[in-house]
Amino acid sequence: MPVVRTSQAVTHEIHGARFVSYATPLAGSKELCAWRGEIPAGTRAPVHTVSREEIFHLLIGELLITLDGRTDRITAGDTVIVNPGATLGVENPTDQTAISWVTTSIGLEAVLEDGSRITPPWAN
């Protein structure tokens, strides 16, 4: 049974947020990736379009999630289903770090508003 210990998780930082990667092909995953997201107070991630479905579950805090132009405030315990091709924006307008758990399939890419592409290492 593959077990990924906290000490084995790989941390990545981009756009002011931290992505702590647990499930990837390097860790033994065959189809899915999963990571903990840490979104500090006052952080606004760039709007991006995703190539794969993401399941975004908020563990701690509150966020403003903009999905295809519609903005909703989510709180701890809420889950957002982000379909392939959807445009996503994430903002933490509070004074505390929000913690999320995200799962997607291997091979996720994101396209930013300026057309640049990101292949996040925590999702590949």
Is pLDDT at 1 greater than 90 in this prediction?
Answer: no
- pLDDT for 65 equals 98
- pLDDT for 73 equals 98
Q: Is 66 inside a domain boundary?
A: yes
Using alpha carbons, select from 22, 34, 39 the residue that is nearest to residue 88.
39
Q: Is 106 inside a domain boundary?
A: yes
Counting the structural domains of the chain, the total is 1
Is pLDDT at 124 greater than 90 in this prediction?
Answer: no
Query: Residue 2: pLDDT band by 50, 70, 90 thresholds?
Result: confident
Q: Is 2 inside a domain boundary?
A: no
Q: Is 37 inside a domain boundary?
A: yes
> Does pTM surpass 0.85?
yes
Instruction: Residue 24: give the domain boundaries.
Output: 10-123
CATH of the domain at 28: 2.60.120.10
- Dihedral, 99, 105, 109, 111 alpha carbons, nearest 10: -70
State pLDDT tens for residues 15-42.
999 999 999 998 999 999 999 999 999 9
The upper half-sphere exposure of residue 52, i.e. CA atoms within 13 Å in the direction of its Cβ, equals 19
Q: Is 5 inside a domain boundary?
A: no
